[in-house]
Amino acid sequence: MRFFFLLLSLGTFGADQDLDGVPDELEQRLLERFVPRFYTAVDDCDVAPAEFERGRTAPVAKKKNGTIYGQVFAVSGGLEVHYYHLWSADCGKIRHPLDAEHVSGFLSEEKGEWRARYWYAAAHENTVCDRGSAARAGLLYAEWRGPEVWISRGKHASFLSEAACRTGCGSDRCDRSKRLAVSQLINLGEVENRLNGSDWVLSTAWNLSEKMGSDFPPALRAALDGSKRIIAANPATPGVQPVIAAGNTTIDSLALANTKTEGALSKAHKTAKSWLQKHLR
């Protein structure tokens, strides 16, 4: 019911080409207002997040020019804003082409103003090495604007503090970083109704479309409400992470599998599980 009233409060005027009930002009305004201040490695092997050619079904990097892609959609109680930094390659120990990474925020409307309540930064998402983190926006001084986000060298995992990156997973490093000059913010639209020629969202060459759903389940929001620090957003396997951190090759294999099909991912999980069982004995 709250979701219904939220849609009503968003109004029915204005173009809505991605058919999500949120006026596209509002989406762009919020994307620009809450864009994070990204810090990337001065010597990143892939230079900067890329702009991809419009209208293609397969992702083809056009220019490594600091383009950030965005998405805004309604959820129960508010809106989510997602920021995707898309790279032409992940340069871990096992280099692989294409690397879709992201950061997101949960916004709620108060007295006619959109205010960020929580932020999430994805790191090695959906692998046993998952170091995704989240925090209340107030803790990050990012209620009325975007947070600072550190992107690890080569791997491009996102962190809500430089310190969190240091305790990331294996080879994550965020030292010697510089502020990324964002050249443009392009709205991807939604998975079913894409905008701005971003049909490559659906490509199985990367796992971008999987990242376009909600990042803030009620349990995470409840945990954040009572928290005064940055917390693990997906603490499914916290016990095994220090062990995984000892083996970069394993981390890279998992990250690589994560760009392939679900089948490959589940195979990688099985491989990692047996690797862990062997080493935890």
List residues binding Ca ion (CB under 5 A). Answer: 16, 18, 20, 22, 24, 72-73, 90, 99, 155-156
Q: How far is CA 186 from the centre of its chain?
A: 15
- Taking the least distance from each CB to Ca ion, the nearer of 7 and 58 is 7
- Taking the least distance from each CB to Ca ion, the nearer of 24 and 143 is 24
Q: How far is CA 174 from the centre of its chain?
A: 17
Contact 258, 126 (CB under 8 A): yes
Which of 240, 47, 75 shows the shortest CA–CA distance to 254? 240
- Min. distance of Cβ 71 from Ca ion in angstroms? 6
Alpha-carbon distance values, 107 to 41, 133, 138, 146, 257 (Å): 29, 17, 12, 11, 32
- Taking the least distance from each CB to Ca ion, the nearer of 157 and 224 is 157
- Min. distance of Cβ 187 from Ca ion in angstroms? 7
- Min. distance of Cβ 156 from Ca ion in angstroms? 4
- Min. distance of Cβ 129 from Ca ion in angstroms? 11
Alpha-carbon distance values, 67 to 155, 185, 212 (Å): 18, 6, 18
Q: Phi, psi at residue 251, to the nearest 5°?
A: -60, -45
- Taking the least distance from each CB to Ca ion, the nearer of 123 and 224 is 123
- Taking the least distance from each CB to Ca ion, the nearer of 44 and 51 is 44
Which of 260, 250, 267, 161 shows the shortest CA–CA distance to 207? 260
- Min. distance of Cβ 147 from Ca ion in angstroms? 20
